[in-house]
């Protein structure tokens, strides 16, 4: 069963806004390596699960995976070849709205080469461009910016 919330306040939410850069969740918090999104979009629960499985298969028994986004937004669709009107479509899939700069997932407790390769494989499962980030390099960038 894919990731989805146990309960929601509303069954069919509005689309919401996905403009600009992310302000929260932009730095590594749990692992040493992570995937940062370079584009804005909806990340489906299926794509997130596929990336997680790809990483866990590559890491086998070592390391730890941290998911930093959760698909808590439902997308509705109307059936094909349906006339206009008749209300909003039925809920089809769960997505996580991801803005540019957001850390999607993190990996910790493994060597650099293994972590980078696992994240590279996982990046092919995601619907937008991502960048592999490292904790030491990220901290060095923050020192330069201040």
Residue 58 pLDDT greater than 70, yes or no? yes
Domains, the chain, with CATH or none: 33-79+86-145 (3.90.1170.10)
Residue 128 confidence (pLDDT): 93
- Average pLDDT across the chain, whole number: 90
Residue 138 confidence (pLDDT): 64
Q: How many CB atoms lie under 10 A from the CB of residue 2? A: 12
Residue 142 confidence (pLDDT): 62
Residue 15 confidence (pLDDT): 86
Residue 2 — pLDDT band, cuts 50, 70, 90? Answer: confident
Burial class (CB in 10 A: 0-12, 13-18, 19+), 84: exposed
Integer Cα distance of 60 and 56 in angstroms: 6
Residue 115 pLDDT greater than 80, yes or no? yes
Determine the average pLDDT of the residues in 13-35: 91
């Amino acid at each position: 069963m894919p990731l989805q919330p146990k309960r929601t306040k509303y069954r069919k939410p509005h689309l919401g806004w996905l403009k600009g850069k992310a302000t929260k969740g932009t730095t590594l918090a749990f692992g040493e390596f992570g995937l940062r999104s370079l584009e804005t979009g909806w990340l489906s629960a299926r794509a997130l699960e596929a990336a997680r499985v790809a990483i866990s298969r590559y890491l086998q028994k070592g390391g730890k995976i941290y998911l930093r986004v959760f698909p808590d937004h439902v997308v509705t669709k109307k059936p094909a070849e349906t006339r206009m009107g008749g209300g909003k479509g039925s809920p089809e899939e769960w997505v996580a709205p991801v803005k540019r700069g957001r850390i999607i997932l993190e990996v910790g407790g493994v060597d650099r080469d293994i972590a980078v390769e696992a994240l590279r494989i996982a990046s092919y499962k995601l619907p937008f461009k991502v960048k592999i980030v490292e904790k030491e390099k990220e901290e060095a960038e923050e020192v330069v910016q201040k």
